[in-house]
Structure 1
Amino acid sequence: MQLLVLAVFLAAGLTIYFPSLKAGPVFDDLHTVEQNPALRSIELKKFFTDPRAFSSKPGNWPYRPVTVLSYAVDWKIGAGSFQPFHLTNICLHCLAAFLLYLAAVMLFQNRRAALIAGMLFLVHPLPGFSVNYLSARSGILSGMFSAASLVSWLKYNRQRQGPKWIWLAASLG
């Protein structure tokens, strides 16, 4: 059942955001992605130790290693094409909506209400900014990891036997 719901979220997200697959870089995407030499190769140590890997623009160096790593993987896959970047943003947003659905199921014990909540998040225009704007991927990742943390904590809180510490560790990660 959950795989079917995930497939529905992916299908809906791809349908809604399909036009963005043809889009190029805008605004900060230029120095964060297109002109960023750090993305041309996957260097884990650099991504996790040097904030300058985030952007080619001097001074615009927030520490976001997971975001930079995801950009480098997209660059490697697409060889300069922006389609993989947009597709990753769409898939991450769909996953965040699905995780929100899972959390709502656990909290409210109502699959229909949870599906509506997840779909509203998926189709609402406000997160669309982050989905369409490559440089806003950190916002999608933040939301996705927050939702995953909530789901993990809820599983930890509900588990009666077995290794509960795994869910606790996942919720804190």
Structure 2
Amino acid sequence: MANLRQSIRPIHTDMPLRQVLSEDFPRDCAGLPISGGWGYTQPEAIAFIRSQFPRPQAPDFVALEYHIAQKIIYEELIIFRAKDDRFSGIDITRKEQRTLADGGKRYDCLEFSIACWSDFHWEILKKEWEDNDGGRNPSFDREGHAVKRNAARIDYERCLWFDITGVLSD
């Protein structure tokens, strides 16, 4: 499992985040009001462009932060990976959110806990569950299944940075 966990890394590409998300998720990420980097560090923060929001006078950026974070995690666990090296059962939980001021700018730093399973393990566990009538078969060892499920689960944390200066100023 340690090798699987170590294989999950931030995305490194020359393509802008806005372009990648627009191409990979055209229905809900086309024309995102963002610029900047991928948000893995404060200097590479994802910056919001106020004038590109549907209502620039009152930009709703908090929900957008979570939407973008979810898509970045999907990029890490699915899209930027080889077909046989992907993850399923992805659960993303916000661990912490903090706002910081630095050098005349304001940032949101969102920290997430992520749980997932390799597609290989996910399919084995899914088949075992489905072959036992969704765990309802009286001879099915639910506790044993839970032990296997927990042993195969990969947990990690990801912090993403957003430059919110442009959406806070008048």
Same fold? TM cut 0.5: no
> Bigger relative contact order, structure 1 or 2, given CA contacts below 8 A and separation 6+?
2
Q: Give the greater-gyration-radius structure (CA).
A: 2
- TM class by shorter chain equals under 0.3
TM-score of the aligned structures, taking structure 2 as reference length: 0.26
TM-score of the aligned structures, taking structure 1 as reference length: 0.26
Richer in strand (by share): 2
Richer in helix (by share): 1
